[in-house]
Each structure stands twice: as C-alpha cells, then as structure tokens.
C-alpha cells in the first residue's frame, strides 16, 4: 500500500487486518526531485475494533401497560454486533422521577422485581454492557401496577339448585367460581351446619347416605392463594320421600297443543304427556319408563311411550291429530308388580284449548302475511284462559 501526503503524519484506513504484522517506511521527495528513504519500521495490529451492543428492546411489560402484578418479570431482548457476551444493568423508579440501579451486571434477559407497590406508575430502563466496557441504554418505558388483591367471586351453586326437591339420598354437590385476578382457588363446604370439606381444589363433592324427606342447607367458602375470601349464598334442597310413607299420586295427564313449521310446512301437534311421581319415574332423563312398571291404553288401544325428556319425571304419549275436537277420551294408566295403579282418568280434549283451522296441517305458507285462524272451545263454564301466540324467528308458535 502506498499513501501520499504533504503532512508529517498519516491516518491509516480502517481496512487493516486484525492481528497482523505490518512493515512501513517513509520516502521523502524534494521539490527538485531528489529523495531519501527512511529505515523500515514494524507494527502489529490488535484483535480489531469493538462495536458497542445494540440498544436493548424492552418486551414486557409493554409500554403503558396497566394492572401489572407486583411480582412482574421484566423482559427484554438484545444482541451485540461483534457477538460479545452481554450483561445488563436494570434501572427502575417512579414515573417522572430519578431511576435507581436495582440490579448491576445481570446475566440474562429477564428480571423479577420484588419491591413494587400497588397502584403505582413506574419507569424502567436496561443498559447492555459488552466484555470490553462498551454499553448501550434502552429507551425508558412505563407500566402501572394493579391494586391490592381482589377477593374471589361468590361461588354459584350449580346442583342441586336452590329449593330443589326429590333429590336422591346420594348426591354430588356442584358449584362454580372464578377469581378476578386469576388466582388459584380452594373451597370449604359446609353441609347441614357442619364443615365436611376444607381446602379442596375441585368444584364438586359427593355426599352419601342422606335421610329420606329431609331438607338440607349448604354453602361454599372460597379462598384464593393471596388470602382473599368470599362465601356463596345458602342453598337448600329436599331429598326423596320414604317409599313406605308415600301417599302421593302415581301419575297425572297433561294436555298440549302446538303449531309449528319446518321451512314453509305447517304442522299441528296435539299430544298428552304423563307426569309421574318420582318413586315411579324413569331411572334417568334419557331412559324409557321401565316396561314392567306401567302401561297405557286409550280407547282400548295400547300406545308406546317415548323416551323421557326435559326432566326425570316426564314421558310423553304423542296422540297426534286424530283426537277429535271436544271429544271425550278415557286414558287408563296401570301399574305393574309393586306399582300402584291410577284409576281411570276421563278427560275432554282439547280442554279450554284453541284449535287451529287455518292453515291446515301440512299446508305450505310463507311467514310474510301469515294469518292464523282458530276456534276456541269453552268446554267448562269457568274457562277464561286467554290465547297467547308467541312467535320467534323461524321458531314455534305455541298457544297456552
């Protein structure tokens, strides 16, 4: 490499190789063309020029964040253009005040604070340092800590619902609960005046061997992992009665009339459902009645029971449209072995019920401009029930 200068010094370019030995000399040239060469000199370059780290980028909390927990973990990212190892100085202070050094020479890009206060705005900054004392500060960011711990929400009783009746002697108590802060929760259950469970994490508890025909009260206390506390409302339920003491009705018949549509097709459904005493009800809400327990006849012809629906104690006989207006029909429900019988129950169908005459069942109609026409049969002198039409979007029309 050759360089020319009129000065007595020369700054070399930054293109020299690191850790390399160079030999140099000076050739002086006069104005009349005469020259003189100096002795040769040597020098060796070092490891190279060190660049400072890039400025750290603060990732959490995001600038301006609120409701930050007191045990927040501050986080950031940072790199060094030379690949040098980095340590960090962490500065923290009240918003708008002087930042204080809370951790020096920290190794890693996360730091958990242990000295914050509730409901306070803070500024924070991170300074990156490389191995040869070059440094770079981050921008200053701000966050706000949340208030003191909020107590859990009240536990909500799920099952049995308040004032429920005919509850089995073995029952699983169920409830639900949440915490505004997202804290972990444990529960104490008080049943019949006695605490029967403490510090359980589940939202259910099995209780067995209850007494027949007895009302029980219970409630749930909730505690979060920061000491917050709340309690549910009291709830009560009554267990099933003793079969030996039972003198209730075996079953009763209920009349229903419904007009509905599927697309543009109108359908009228008249049916009878039987409501059974809990002692003779199906085993579960989706089980058919026990075939040995009951049979039903209408006008001497047997009908099939549909599966139970909507509750434990219902099963429907769909009679359909062959029932005559104001006709006098006799339903007989007969029990099986060990099941009492209901005496023959004569009813008139429909009982004080309107009967749709237009549109006919199966007719094709549009919702726009739909006109409903019905006849109202006052079978009994004191029948004064109003006709109510409830219309929902593409849902059923029902009269009561």
Q: How crowded is residue 353: how many other Cβ atoms within 10 Å of its Cβ? A: 23
Reported as type and span, the H/E element at residue 255 is: strand 251-262
Distances, alpha carbon 391 to alpha carbons 35, 64, 65, 270, 395, in Å: 113, 50, 48, 18, 7
CATH number at residue 86: 2.60.40.10
354 domain-assigned = yes
8 pLDDT higher than 70? yes
pLDDT band at 265 (very low <50, low <70, confident <90, very high): low
46 domain-assigned = no
Same domain flag for 255 and 233? no
Same domain flag for 175 and 106? no
Of the residues 198, 213, 243, the one at which a domain ends? 243
40 pLDDT higher than 60? yes
CB 226 within 8 A of CB 146: no
Distances, alpha carbon 374 to alpha carbons 101, 323, 367, 385, in Å: 85, 16, 17, 15
286 domain-assigned = yes
Best-predicted range by mean pLDDT (104-113, 314-323, 329-338): 104-113
307 pLDDT higher than 50? no
40 domain-assigned = no
Same domain flag for 224 and 123? no
140 pLDDT higher than 70? yes
β-strand partners of 375:
355
Same domain flag for 63 and 170? no
Distances, alpha carbon 278 to alpha carbons 123, 166, 282, 311, in Å: 67, 7, 8, 11
164 domain-assigned = yes
CB 388 within 8 A of CB 291: no
- The domain containing residue 328 runs over which residues? 251-398
What residues have CB less than 8 Å from 300, skipping those under 6 apart? none
Place of tokens 């009783």: 157
Report helix, strand or coil for 135.
Answer: strand
- The full DSSP string for 341-381 is PPPPEEEEESSS-EEEEESPTT-B--STT---EEEE---ST
CB 293 within 8 A of CB 280: yes
Rounded distance between C-alpha atoms, residue 400 and residue 387, angstroms: 6
Q: What share of the chain is helix, strand, coil (3-state, %, to 5)?
A: 0, 45, 55
- Does residue 365 or residue 173 have the better pLDDT? 173
Q: Which two tokens stand for residue 12?
A: 């070399």
189 pLDDT higher than 80? yes
150 domain-assigned = no
22 domain-assigned = no
* Percent of the chain scoring above 90 in pLDDT: 34
Number of domains in the chain: 3
Q: What is the DSSP letter of 243?
A: G
Same domain flag for 257 and 356? yes
Same domain flag for 239 and 258? no
Same domain flag for 354 and 315? yes
Same domain flag for 238 and 266? no
Q: What is the DSSP letter of 287?
A: S
Rounded distance between C-alpha atoms, residue 192 and residue 205, angstroms: 14
- Does residue 148 or residue 381 have the better pLDDT? 148
Same domain flag for 209 and 77? no
Q: Which two tokens stand for residue 148?
A: 């003191």
pLDDT at residue 69 in the model: 84
Report helix, strand or coil for 329.
Answer: strand
Rg (CA), the chain: 44
Of the residues 243, 270, 298, the one at which a domain ends? 243
Same domain flag for 269 and 328? yes
What is the maximal distance between C-alpha atoms in the chain?
Answer: 145
* Percent of the chain scoring above 70 in pLDDT: 59
Same domain flag for 325 and 222? no
pLDDT band at 28 (very low <50, low <70, confident <90, very high): confident
CB 89 within 8 A of CB 78: no
Of the residues 145, 167, 197, the one at which a domain ends? 145
Report if pTM > 0.75.
no
Q: Which two tokens stand for residue 135?
A: 């440094």
Same domain flag for 290 and 384? yes
221 domain-assigned = yes
């Amino acid at each position: 490499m050759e360089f020319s200068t009129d000065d007595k010094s020369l700054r070399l370019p930054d293109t020299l190789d690191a850790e390399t030995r160079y030999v140099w000399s000076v050739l002086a040239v006069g104005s009349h063309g005469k020259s003189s060469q100096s002795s040769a000199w040597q020098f060796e370059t070092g490891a190279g020029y060190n660049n400072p780290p890039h400025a750290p980028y603060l990732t959490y909390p995001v600038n301006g964040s609120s409701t930050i927990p007191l045990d927040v973990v501050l986080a950031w990212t940072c790199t060094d253009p030379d690949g040098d190892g980095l340590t960090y100085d962490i500065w923290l202070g009240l918003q708008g005040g002087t930042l204080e050094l809370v951790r020096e020479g920290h190794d890693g890009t996360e730091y958990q604070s242990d000295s914050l206060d509730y409901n306070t705005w803070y500024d924070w900054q991170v300074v990156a340092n490389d191995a040869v004392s070059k440094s770079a500060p981050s921008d200053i960011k701000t966050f706000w800590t949340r208030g003191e711990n909020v107590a859990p929400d009240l536990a909500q009783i799920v099952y049995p619902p308040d004032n429920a009746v005919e509850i089995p002697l073995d029952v699983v108590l169920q409830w639900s609960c949440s915490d505004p802060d997202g804290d972990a929760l444990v529960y104490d259950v008080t049943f019949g005046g006695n605490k029967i469970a403490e510090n359980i994490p589940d939202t259910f508890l099995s209780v067995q061997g209850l007494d027949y025909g007895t009302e029980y009260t219970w409630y749930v206390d909730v505690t979060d992992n920061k000491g917050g506390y709340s309690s549910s409302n009291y709830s009560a339920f009554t267990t099933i009665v003793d079969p030996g003491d039972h003198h209730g009705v075996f079953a009763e018949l209920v009349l229903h009339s419904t007009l509905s549509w599927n697309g543009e097709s109108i359908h009228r459904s008249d049916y009878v459902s039987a409501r059974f005493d809990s002692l003779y009800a199906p085993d579960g809400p989706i089980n058919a009645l026990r075939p040995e327990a009951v049979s039903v006849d209408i006008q001497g012809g047997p009908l099939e029971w549909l599966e139970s629906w909507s509750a434990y104690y219902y099963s429907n006989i769909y009679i359909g449209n062959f029932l005559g207006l104001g006709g006098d029909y006799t339903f007989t429900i007969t029990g099986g072995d060990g099941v009492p019988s209901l005496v023959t129950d004569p009813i008139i169908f429909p009982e004080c019920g309107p009967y749709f005459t237009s549109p006919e069942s199966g007719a094709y109609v549009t919702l726009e401009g739909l006109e409903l026409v019905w006849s109202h049969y006052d079978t009994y002198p004191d029948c004064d029930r109003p006709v109510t039409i409830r219309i929902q979007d593409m849902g059923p029309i029902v009269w009561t």
